[in-house]
Chains A and B, each alone.
Chain A
Amino acid sequence: GENVEQHPSTLSVQEGDSAVIKCTYSDSASNYFPWYKQELGKGPQLIIDIRSNVGEKKDQRIAVTLNKTAKHFSLHITETQPEDSAVYFCASVSGYSTLTFGKGTMLLVSP
Chain B
Amino acid sequence: DTGVSQNPRHKITKRGQNVTFRCDPISEHNRLYWYRQTLGQGPEFLTYFQNEAQLEKSRLLSDRFSAERPKGSFSTLEIQRTEQGDSAMYLCASSPQGRTEAFFGQGTRLTVV
Contact = CB atoms under 8 A, between A and B. Distances in A.
The judgment on whether A and B are partners is: yes
B42 interface: yes
Interface stretch (B62-70, B78-86, B94-102): B94-102
> Looking at chain B, what size class is its interface with the partner chain?
20 to 34
B64 to A, nearest CB: 21
Interface residues of A, number: 26
Secondary structure at chain B's binding surface: helix, strand, loop or mixed? Answer: strand
Contacts, number: 62
B102 A46 contact: yes
A63 interface: no
| Residue among A34, A91, A101 with most chain B CB within 10 A | A101
B4 to A, nearest CB: 8
Interface of A: 4, 6, 32, 34, 36, 41-46, 49, 51, 89, 91, 93, 95-104
12 contacts: A41-B106, A44-B104, A49-B100, A49-B101, A93-B100, A96-B48, A98-B48, A99-B35, A99-B43, A99-B45, A103-B42, A104-B41
5 pairs of A and B residues whose beta carbons are closest in the complex: A101-B42, A43-B104, A32-B100, A43-B106, A98-B45
